[in-house]
Chain A
Amino acid sequence: MIPVAKEVGSLRAIASGGIVSPTGNPDLPPDKEKDFRRELIRRVLKKLQEEV
């Protein structure tokens, strides 16, 4: 989805956990999935603070 986001002018974009679970990963056990989400969101928040 990154090229789509960039094409429409949404420049702060990061790759997610996938189409069916952008902020999750169903293959992981629940506690690990929460870690995955927290890590992803930390990167998202960093992106929000970046100049583009």
Chain B
Amino acid sequence: MRQAFLQELTAIMERDPSVYLLTSDTGFHVFDDFQKAFGERFLNVGISEAAMVGIAAGLASSGKRVFTYGIAPFVTLRCFEQIRVDLCYPNLPVTIVGVGAGLTYGSAGVTHHTIEDVAVLSALPNMTVVCPGDPAEAGAATRGAALLEGPCYLRIGKSGERQVHEDSGLPDFTIGKGIRLREGKDIALVATGSMLPTAIEAADLLAKDGVNPEVISMHTVKPLDEELVKDVATRCATIATLEEHVARGGLASAVTDCIVLAGLNTKTLRFALPDTFASEAGSQEYLRVKHGLRAADIAGRILSNG
């Protein structure tokens, strides 16, 4: 996903001389070409996430469009109040790119996990929250973010994520519009971010047992594609949400809110991280297993009806 983001951003910065990239000392060697190609429009502001947001705000209020880049917990939670006051309050076109979101940096420990970012950033007025599900979505979301009038949080993994969409990319990708990957019935798997490939795997497993679920990539958590959720909730008896994030304030909350407020009584199942910090070292895969986020766990729980 990171590579897809970088490729797309390179193209954007080549086209548009008003676009800047700031990093808070993250991306060793990743930005070597950027520095050569874009000179002063690439700036490492040092280990200074709060200053990075302020500098981005100053640039954006002067007619520039800015991407800030760093490890997800630091560029979101560390400088949350700068994001609120300096970006969201004046509604400035700055995209915060959080790399290694969720449990990507599993073994690094809790400081490097980002399991609450979607909840807190979604609470901010004017903020758009996008969690691409594969490299193609990451590239398309970068293109989409560069067209927004206000702030955006782009929550991406790191590298090696499985491609879900075709190589030809996603010409019709729109921030705020979910993507129906499989038509199905009875149950819908609605996934955001890096859980998208797992949703596909779980759907394959379910198909072997005669269940053919609908699969939705809900890459944008805010604003939620409520029309799509209501459509799915009307046609399917159960909606399962999948996310590498706590359920409270994440996709699970957003989808449940939408269903309840629409007066529907569709059953919901949430596959999310529990309301707790990790208590041991563990890779992303290990921690997903622990919390029942493997495809087999998901399919099994669905088959046993929750």
A and B: bona fide binding partners: no
Binding site for B on A (CB under 8 A): none
